[in-house]
Structure 1
Amino acid sequence: MYWLWMFVIGLLVGIVAKVLMPGRDPGGFIVTGLLGIGGMFVGGFLSNLVFGTGAIGGPIQPSGFIGGVIGALILLAIYRAVKRRA
């Protein structure tokens, strides 16, 4: 059940990341949502490395949402850089 919530929250994180980083994206809504889901995983991984508080399978907390947004912003920036070069 945790993974399902992570995907749903990840879609919301993608939308928030898009709002925080406006501009022309090569992808649409689906790509932004996938980047948000990936951002949740990246943000969780980075918070585990920095703070050592990996709660995989635990409840989703506000700090996880913020970490997910930061991870999604990182992935969105990388995605834009790669698509510009191609």
Structure 2
Amino acid sequence: MWSLIVAIVIGFIAGLIARAIHPGNDKAGFIVTTLLGIAGSLLATYGGRFLGLYPENSSAGFIASVIGAIIILFIYNLISNKTR
């Protein structure tokens, strides 16, 4: 349970950093950006566990969370641009 809380807190910060790093004109607001960051952190955490990079009950590191957030933000931009 604690690793999930840590992943959410790290994801909040990682989402803000991913938004600053990711190029392009994003129309997503603050709430969407933080939710995408949290999703990226959870992607990095559970994806890393699935691939055997992290032991059970540990969260992804900060760099991995930022990379996961950038991936989620990129996918979000692809989907949102197709619907416009």
1:6 and 2:7 matched: yes
Paired residues of 1:17 and 1:73 also in contact (CA < 8 A) = yes
Q: Does 1:55 align with 2:55?
A: yes
Q: TM-score of the superposition, structure 2-length normalised?
A: 0.81
Report the equivalent of 2:72. Answer: 75
| Cα gap change, 1:47 to 1:27, in 2 (>3 Å) | same
TM-score by length of 1: 0.79
Cα deviation 1:17-56 (Å, max 9, x = unaligned): 0111133213101111011101111112333344x13234
| SS class of match (1:53) | coil
Consecutive unaligned residues in structure 2, runs of 5 or more: none
Structure 1 residue ranges without an equivalent (≥5): none
